[in-house]
A and B are shown apart, each in its own frame.
Chain A
């Protein structure tokens, strides 16, 4: 699936996402990535280094020619393989950014594969090699040095104990070593975050003008659909519903004059019931098309109404305040879909709805107490929602491990 795809997250805590752990995981894999990079670079660099060694040891006669040949071969290989290595690394590193929970536009959608030396994207990919190959190892080395201090503290503790050193000194060292652990973890996570940010800046493809236009057009389309839904809702409400109420009044009046035992009284009673049922169904239908409460009173009121009407035990912790109509619409649609899915599929009565504003994003989360195992591929509800979220510049994530719980999370830009 594309960037609109549903991706699984396995978070136990609530918003915001477990950034420190993501940072740690990213830093840890940076070491591996750096190693692989040097392994690949060793092919073109070996002749160059050999040439340098030959030049420095025997700078005479035939050796000079050998050094020149080695050097030329090395530089040739470097210019041949360098860009390919840079682009492969860029691809892999873009993918690895997912560890930080960032969705990066894949090249095929958001940019283009650079093909010649005049392309800035290629040179940024080469610059990234310096970051991954040289700067990252220096940082990782510094972190490793702190790690070494932490690890060595218990060793030195034993050493000092055997030397019968004064106790306060021993304790001081142990405490010092232990207190470095959070510092180490923090620095590692921070390094991961900074590295990730630099990676994104260097490697995220710049959307071309066409693609910006496509994205805008997609947003416009979604907006037009919303407007159309509002219009349909208004028509149904102002015309169909009012007529239906008037109809039930007429039936009610007619029933007053019919003898209770007559056949027409029975038929009228059935007609009355059917009209009433239709009224309820029409109201539910209208609410599904475009909830009026949402438009008039905002997300909190609409979600509370949804919770009240639900047969489940829904707990609501929703930020008060208004957002752009499209943001509210998508957020509400996601919540409503998640609650409906829980009602239909999950064997539970517990649902938690939470929204929170984080910077310029609105985070929406619906969590149930069910057994999980929800498959977004079945039914178009969630995929359609994911598409709408993507059209609005946001994303939709679903986590539903077997055994539960099912968590639906929507992140929407809400700068206002």
Chain B
């Protein structure tokens, strides 16, 4: 897997590069700002982009803007955005960009769990979508929405789905059978008025579309 990293902190940029090397991920370019990211992507055609949300010159959301712009040109380009804090509208905007697949929105806290982080990168590069558990938790906490209709178990399942876990993985984490997970998912989709489909991606997309609507 070939990745481009955009991160303005040199220390963190080096740390990330060193870490990814350990997991057989090839860092083809590591840059420090959004415009360098744009040119690096067009030059190297990476399999995955990892970008900090906040970068020079304005230190607001330059990385996010760049990611959204890149996905206008390349709707399938896998992007993982790293954020220092949870911002729903950023997550929503990213999820709405391009094809709506191959998106990761993670707190920087997750980077330290190196093996898990590498796994999340692979999931995004493989077309999956990974939303930080903290974002999911906060969205789940909003009681005014139809999520309130879900049972605690169904919430857990939905939360795992939103984090990009497969049925098998969810079953393992929750100590359930796969059939049990599938049943819960069916309930979730029914309760949320989402179309039932066998296609995993469409299902995850539907859930994310729902989460997206919550974060707007």
Contacts and interface: CB of A to CB of B under 8 A. Distances in A.
A252 interface: yes
B167 to A, nearest CB: 28
A281 B103 CA distance: 27
B39 interface: no
A252 B113 contact: yes
Interface string B114-144: 1101000000000000000000001101111
B141 A249 contact: no
A184 to B, nearest CB: 44
B38 interface: no
Interface residues of B, number: 33
A140 interface: no
Interface stretch (A67-75, A109-117, A301-309, A333-341): A301-309
A238 interface: yes
A305 B88 contact: yes
Interface stretch (B8-16, B151-159, B189-197, B200-208): B8-16
A218 interface: no
Contact of B84 (A237, A252, A301): A237
Interface in A265-283: 272, 275-276, 279-280, 283
A250 B60 CA distance: 27
Contacts of B144: 315
A246 B11 contact: yes
Interface string B90-119: 000000000000000000110111110100
A283 B85 contact: yes
Contact of A279 (B61, B88, B109): B109
A305 B86 contact: yes
Contact of A245 (B61, B89, B108, B143): B108
A269 to B, nearest CB: 12
Nearest to A295: B60
Interface string B1-21: 000000001011011101100
B45 interface: no
Nearest to A272: B112
A287 B85 contact: yes
- Decide if the interface of chain A is mainly helix, strand, loop or mixed: helix
A252 B108 CA distance: 13
A248 B143 contact: no
Contacts of B14: 246
Nearest to A249: B15
Contacts of A315: 144
Interface string A89-130: 000000000000000000000000000000000000000000
A292 B59 CA distance: 11
Interface string A236-263: 0110011101101111110110000000
A237 B12 CA distance: 13
Interface in A51-81: none
Contacts of A237: 54, 84
Contacts of B74: none
A253 B22 contact: yes
Interface string A309-320: 100010100000
Given A252-B117, A275-B112, 20 more contacts: A238-B59, A243-B9, A243-B11, A245-B12, A245-B15, A246-B9, A246-B12, A248-B111, A249-B111, A249-B112, A250-B15, A252-B115, A283-B85, A286-B85, A292-B85, A296-B61, A301-B87, A308-B139, A308-B142, A315-B144
20 contacts: A234-B59, A237-B54, A238-B9, A238-B59, A243-B11, A245-B12, A248-B109, A249-B16, A249-B111, A252-B19, A252-B117, A253-B19, A272-B112, A287-B85, A296-B60, A297-B89, A301-B87, A308-B138, A308-B139, A309-B138
